[in-house]
Structure 1
Amino acid sequence: MRSVEIAGGAIAALLALMAAPCRGDPPLEFRHESYVGVAPSADDDVTWTRVLWLDRGLLHVEARYGYEGDDIATALGGLHFAGGSTLTYDVHLALGLSAGATSGGVVAYRAELVLGTLDLSSEGELFVEWSQRAEAFFFTWTELGWSPIEWLRVGGAMQRTRFYQSARDVDAGPFAGVSSESIDVALYLFGLGTDETNGLVSIGVTF
């Protein structure tokens, strides 16, 4: 628990530094995401992952809990790039440290391309446990979405995770979500038609 407290203190310090107002600084962008997954075939069939990030100009700070596994907290810092007109892009690159049930180093990215009503997004993380260097794991999540109307988004997603054991290295399935100006909710289904069907609900809040 001591390692979790240290990680929590580091996260709080980073967030406070980012949030401190400075004259002439670009505006602060904030987002919080929660993911609740249900995998009936897993020993721990319900998972809860929380992600908080802050962007200010090129600077990016992020805190995660339950992303790499149960009872693991992660603090990351890095860079944020965004731009474009007809085709827009949004990219995060970050390095971080994890502590809790296990500890390790993290290299992470998040990228999104948007063209009209179509979007392609991907995020990934290489997690290297210090106690087991040979067992590095690469988490990844990719989505292809379509927004036929402003508040509705549908498409397909694929993920590679170790929250549950699967006969497939990568799981794929459909999703559907709704959104308002600052809140979005989506439902994802993976492994449809198999004994390893599982679902995930995501809730995001942006300020």
Structure 2
Amino acid sequence: MRIARWALTALGAMAAVTALANEMEGSGRRAFPPDSASWEFSVTAIPTIVRGGENFVSGIAVADRGSLHLEARANYESVGARSAFVGWTFSGGDEIKWELTPLLGTAWGTTKGFVPGLEASAAWRRLDFYVEAEYVNNRNDQSSSYFYAWSELGFRPFEWLRVGLAAQRTRVYGGARDIQRGPFAQVTWRRMTIGGFWFNPGSKDQVLVTSIGVAF
């Protein structure tokens, strides 16, 4: 019930600011589209509440210039891990817009190793799909190496509101389920985006992932 109350609170807080939202952000990880010739940045805090487990906060910082994509993360591959990535974005499409960003990265701290990855998104009218995946090769413990994936299928009933379904495969926190699924909602106001992802609703393995991001 605690997770349910947190989820309702988070969704209620998002609804309270929707009247101020007037700009639409993309569904991908980039700070801005790859046609920007100047440096653009974004930072995102990701508080995570784990039912029956340890709550924690992850962080992501992104820097983009044209197709160049730089990314740093904290508590993402594992709690206590740090990671950094460099990538190059390919994009195109008219009716269906798409972006593809291969990544090369490294992790240190509680997880150490080479981390290749990929971020991709596609959008058609009010529908979009986003996926990020990486192979975490943990030099600290090879048996703990794993394939991580996060995906979102989103719909925008309004420019400032994005709702849909998300799924992830991760080992950052415990739980009996290898793949978690659930609904999400995001609202955007100017250059700020607030989101809530509710995985495994109604189960003993519920996880609430919230996100607060700013692009500048």
TM-score normalized with structure 2 length? 0.79
135-144 vs 79-88, which moves further: 79-88
Does residue 157 of structure 1 match 2:187?
Answer: no
| 1:173 corresponds to which of 174, 179, 182 | 182
**Counterpart in the other structure of 2:46:** 35
Does residue 88 of structure 1 match 2:97?
Answer: yes
Deviation for aligned residue 1:83: 2.6
2:121 and 2:210 mapped to 1: Cα distance? 20
CA contact 1:55–1:80 (8 Å) conserved in 2: no
Which string of whole-angstrom CA distances, capped at 9 and with x for unpartnered residues, describes residues 85-144 of structure 1? 221112221111111123111011111101111110011111101132343111111000
1:201 and 1:131 mapped to 2: Cα distance? 29
Question: Residue 196 of structure 1: SS of its match in structure 2?
Answer: coil
* Percent pairwise identity: 34
**Counterpart in the other structure of 2:107:** 98
Question: Residue 128 of structure 2: SS of its match in structure 1?
Answer: strand
2:87 and 2:151 mapped to 1: Cα distance? 21
In the superposition, relative to structure 1, how do residues 102 and 167 fare at CA in structure 2: closer, same or farther (>3 Å)?
Answer: closer
| 1:131 corresponds to which of 136, 140, 162 | 140
Structure with the greater relative contact order (CA < 8 A, sep ≥ 6): 1 or 2?
2
**Counterpart in the other structure of 2:127:** 118
Deviation for aligned residue 1:54: 1.3
Structure 1: 5+ residue stretches without partners: 1-24
CA contact 1:145–1:156 (8 Å) conserved in 2: yes
Which string of whole-angstrom CA distances, capped at 9 and with x for unpartnered residues, describes residues 15-64 of structure 1? xxxxxxxxxx922232212211101221x2x1211111112122221111
Q: Give me the CA root mean square deviation.
A: 1.5
CA contact 1:176–1:186 (8 Å) conserved in 2: yes
Deviation for aligned residue 1:176: 1.1
Give runs of aligned pairs for residues 65-76 of structure 1, distance below 5 A. Answer: 65-76=74-85
Q: Which runs of 4 or more aligned residues in structure 1 lie more than 6 Å from their structure 2 counterparts after TM superposition? A: none
CA contact 2:38–2:65 (8 Å) conserved in 1: yes
CA contact 1:154–1:177 (8 Å) conserved in 2: yes
Q: In structure 2, give the amino acid aligned to 1:121.
A: Y
1:197 and 1:134 mapped to 2: Cα distance? 26
CA contact 2:164–2:184 (8 Å) conserved in 1: yes
**Counterpart in the other structure of 1:203:** 212
CA contact 2:77–2:111 (8 Å) conserved in 1: no
Structure 2: 5+ residue stretches without partners: 1-35
**Counterpart in the other structure of 1:21:** none
Give runs of aligned pairs for residues 15-54 of structure 1, distance below 5 A. Answer: 26-42=37-53, 44=54, 46-54=55-63
| 2:88 corresponds to which of 79, 82, 86 | 79
The alignment covers a number of residue pairs equal to 181
